[in-house]
Structure 1
Amino acid sequence: MHCLIAVLLLTKPSWHTSDRLILIGYTSRNNYFVYPAPSDQQFPGTAENSGIFMTESKINGAGTYMRYYCSYLTHLGDMVAGIVGEQFPMPYSDITQSKNNPITHERCREYLDSLIQISQSTRMSDIIKNSACKASDIASLAFAGKISIGGVNRGFAPPENTSLFEVIADKQVKLSDLVLADQSVILNGSHRSTALVWYQGYLHKLNKCGFNTWSFETEFNGDNGVELFTYLRQLNEKFGEPSKLLMDKELNRSQRPTIPKDNAYQAAEIRYNDVHIHYQKVNVIKGRLPVGPITGFVDGR
């Protein structure tokens, strides 16, 4: 049996970001897919003969939700196609949105453009002091390839690019200034605490590396699916409850939109294997994830 984990983010207007559906797989590469959230703000259903079974979900308003999709399909791509049909993934520019107001974000970009005309670098603390820019705006511009972030406190930024205008991170940056507000899941371990956060539109795992400091364990420009899949499974074991793997029609959904599904699997073989998956129990957080604020600073490394 193979499973992927779907994460559904339903947002509030004040978050200044869009709803999205993340599909996270178990393969070593090509294992993290981002799609627009379904219009009904529910997890997608699947065709009756798809051979894909899923856990129950209790969705109620804005927040972060999880669901397992499991099958005997051996190719992750076939499972993804069986869930989203012919829907296109979200473009990168739509994923990596600043968490701040688009108007102030544009003012920040214009301010930095004016600095680029007269200098090659400046301190991040001066930018924040003298403009409408916030830490998440500066980070977004770095991820968009408009600026480069250097300095000893650049642990929240993509790799440096010496050909771009440099913003020097001269002071530690608060995590709350970067990640999506009050949507962090903190797992306190016996040796080290970890956290799941939304940052620049993506899910990331953090490790607590000091009394009040966190570092990003997941990469900014890499395949993090396997690591996130493992971590989400840990969260489900910690905070979840047993849930049967069911067919879409057994979930009591009022209506499922008809979406063309990929037929790149052998229906007869899937029906034969269904008995090994149907009604099997897995632990999952059925409702909104147990989220809250995260305090502390980003480690500089």
Structure 2
Amino acid sequence: MVCVVAIIVIAAQYNWEKSRLVFAVNDFSYPNYAVFQLPQNHQFPVPKDPHIVSTSTTVDRVGTHVQLYCSHRWRDYTIISRISDELNDITQSAADAFLSPIMEKNNCQNEIVRVQREKQKHIYFNKFFGYSTPRWSNFKNTSCKPKLIAELAFQGVLNVVGKYNNFVPPSRKPSLTIDINEPMELSDLVYQEQVYIGTDWKVNQRALAWYEGHLHIFKKTKRGSWLPFTDLGSERQNGDLIYKHMLENHPSFSQTHHNLVSHVSNLAGGHGRLEAKLRDPAFLDHVDSQATTIKHNVGQVKLEPLSPMGIWDTKSYISDQKPYSKSSRVEKIHNLNYVGQYAPHRRFP
């Protein structure tokens, strides 16, 4: 049985450009995550497909709101495509609404270029003393704020190296380079200087945050610094991690998910038989016959919003540890090359 967590953020001051809808699937396939513009009514879409059930969350204020969709028939990205068929996919351009003014970015880029050229004039001296690359410590009190460094790196303009470079995707090796030799603060990078913690916070120390237009998970290390837990720059494959995080941290979401799966499992004669039964057309028809009861039970649930926690005064430094390995996930992603047949009018990489 495949389920999707849908998350709507209504941005501060009802900024509709920054407001958005994210889907994350509990299935380890590719893609299993997407970002969309909000529906015109700014509410979670009501599925037209009779084989999809959903909770009934109402979006009524600024904040980050949660909805659950599940289907016994549709798998992988198919379920997202059947919910979002009238929405505009902005996954590729999700960061655009959060970008800094172009003048600020150009000033920062020009300053790094200037310092890099100065170092190249004394290349042998600088290489001998290990100073051949511009260092973040030379810029942190200038116009080159952490957010600008991140934006330039995500856009492939800036190659970020050094001890504290975990806050950007792997570099495409552009000619312009900066050495992050001192830690930046997570609060300077994420939207509203906030993270969203949950009930599992004391155990796993993981939190959600809006970063570069996407929903990401960050983990607090034993030393108190922060490390990205989801993949940066490969957001389309983070859906299963986000869904699992919600199961572990959002009680009403988790309870609704487990109640629904248990109900369908009982129809299958036990949880161990469910996956096999879901490939049996006769069983799918049997579940359809129970649709009224299932939709009634799930449709009564209204999930509460996520609660933000400000981190601007907590010394929320980015960690120098290596990124987390996703070794617990299946090695081979089931690549949905046929995703276009579900959403032929959307832009996919």
Q: For residue 38 of structure 1, report the CA deviation from its aligned partner.
A: 1.5
Residues 50-65 of structure 1 aligned to structure 2 (within 5 Å): 50-65=50-65
TM alignment of 1:1-301, pairs within 5 A? 1-12=1-12, 18-29=18-29, 30-47=31-48, 49-95=49-95, 98=98, 100=100, 104-112=104-112, 121-130=133-142, 132-187=143-198, 189-222=201-234, 223-237=237-251, 269=285, 271-272=288-289, 274-275=291-292, 277-281=294-298, 286-294=303-311, 295=314, 296-301=316-321
Measured in 2, the distance between the counterparts of 1:283 and 1:203 equals: 27
Tell me which amino acid in the other structure corresponds to 1:168.
D
Question: Is contact 2:28-2:240 (8 Å) kept?
Answer: yes
Contact 1:207/1:216 (8 A) holds in 2: yes
SS state at 2:67 partner: strand
How far did residue 231 of structure 1 move? 0.4
Contact 2:21–2:35 (CA under 8 A) maintained in structure 1: yes
TM-score by length of 2: 0.69
Moved more, 287-296 or 231-240: 231-240
Note the C-alpha offset of 1:217: 1.4
Structure 2 distance, partners of 1:102, 1:18, is 17
Cα gap change, 1:147/1:182 in structure 2, threshold over 3 Å: closer, same or farther? closer
User: 1:179, 1:200 within 8 Å by CA — same for their partners in 2?
Assistant: yes
CA RMSD of aligned residues (A): 3.3
What is the number of residues matched between the two proteins?
278
- Residues 21, 36 of structure 1: 8 Å contact kept: yes
Cα displacement (A) at 1:24: 0.6
Q: What is the alpha-carbon distance in structure 2 between the residues aligned to residue 28 and residue 180 of structure 1? A: 27
Residues 7 and 66 in structure 1, CA contact (< 8 A), matched pair in contact too? yes
Identical residues among aligned pairs (%)? 23
AA aligned to 1:297 is Y
Q: Which has the higher strand share?
A: 1
Contact 1:97 1:140 in 2 (8 A): no
Shift of 1:275: 4.5
Structure 1 or 2: larger helix share?
2
Report SS of the residue matched to 1:129.
coil
| Alignment partners' CA distance in 1, 2:158 and 2:173 | 9
Aligned partners of 2:222, 2:195: CA distance in 1, in Å?
18
Q: CA deviation at 1:108?
A: 3.0
Q: Give the TM-score of the pair, scaled to structure 1.
A: 0.79
* Structure 1 range deviating more: 287-296 or 28-37: 287-296
Structure 2: gaps of 5 or more residues: 121-132, 261-280, 322-349
CA contact (8 A) 1:135 1:178 kept: yes
Aligned counterpart, 1:262: none
- 1:15 CA drift (Å): 7.8
CA distance in structure 2 between the aligned counterparts of 1:84 and 1:17, rounded to whole angstroms: 18
Structure label with greater radius of gyration: 2
Q: Is the 8 A contact 1:50 1:82 kept in 2?
A: no
Higher relative contact order at CA 8 Å, sep ≥6: structure 1 or structure 2? Answer: 1
The AA in structure 2 aligned to 1:69 is Y
